[in-house]
């Protein structure tokens, strides 16, 4: 009777296994980083101001003008109904405010390929409108209302268009 047993050797973790694990792990990390970096570079320019020095010099003047506009109490209201885009300029206590023109600048939060501006047509002394189909997604709408060459409303709002209709 022979008591010697032939045991099969179990799994042995070798240097080649470790190399494979390291290559797969770091390969995944590097692939994700390269993908994220490519998406960041290709989707948005990162440009906020054409010339940051000039923008910094104009900041105080623009901040004072914004405070004066806010103190006037004049506000605008954006309305979206299908393809019709309307904007109304009013004062909370004085009612409608006579306005010469309204321009709406539509920008995507990221990217500038779909950005556009609309000069609205005057419907009444304080109401302006235009027809335009908005693509689905998030938009930043900058409204600029002018009276006698002076900006009386300059405000921005963020909207979300679902399926081309808000």
Mean pLDDT per block of 10 residues along the chain (166 residues) reads 70 94 98 93 73 88 89 90 91 90 90 86 91 90 92 90 64
Burial of 139 (0-12, 13-18, 19+ CB in 10 A): buried
Q: Distance (Å, rounded) from C-alpha 2 to C-alpha 125?
A: 110
User: Are 118 and 157 members of one domain?
Assistant: yes
Structural domain count of the chain:
2
Q: Which residues contact 27 (CB under 8 A, 6 or more apart)?
A: none
Only one residue has tokens 């990217």, namely: 111
User: Are 147 and 97 members of one domain?
Assistant: yes
- Tokens for 144, please give them: 């600029």
Only one residue has tokens 């101001």, namely: 49
Confirm whether pTM is higher than 0.85.
no
Of the CA atoms within 13 Å of residue 22, those in its CB half-sphere come to 6
Domain interval for residue 80: 73-161
pLDDT for 40 equals 82
User: Are 146 and 94 members of one domain?
Assistant: yes
User: Are 152 and 88 members of one domain?
Assistant: yes
User: Are 154 and 83 members of one domain?
Assistant: yes
User: Are 20 and 85 members of one domain?
Assistant: no
């Amino acid at each position: 009777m022979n008591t010697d047993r032939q045991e099969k050797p179990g799994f042995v973790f070798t240097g080649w296994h470790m190399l494979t694990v390291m290559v797969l792990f770091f390969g995944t990390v590097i692939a994700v980083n390269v993908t994220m970096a490519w998406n960041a570079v290709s989707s948005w320019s990162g440009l906020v101001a054409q010339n940051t020095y000039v923008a910094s010099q104009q900041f105080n003047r623009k901040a004072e003008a914004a405070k004066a506009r806010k103190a006037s109490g004049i506000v605008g209201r954006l309305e979206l109904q299908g393809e019709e885009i309307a904007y109304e300029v009013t004062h909370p206590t004085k009612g409608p405010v006579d306005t010469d023109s309204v321009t709406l600048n539509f920008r995507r939060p990221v990217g500038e390929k779909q950005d556009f501006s609309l000069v609205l047509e005057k419907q009444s002394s304080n109401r302006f409108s235009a027809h335009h189909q908005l693509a689905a997604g998030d938009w930043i709408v900058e409204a600029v209302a002018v009276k006698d060459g002076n900006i009386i409303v300059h405000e921005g709002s963020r909207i979300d268009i679902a399926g081309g209709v808000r």
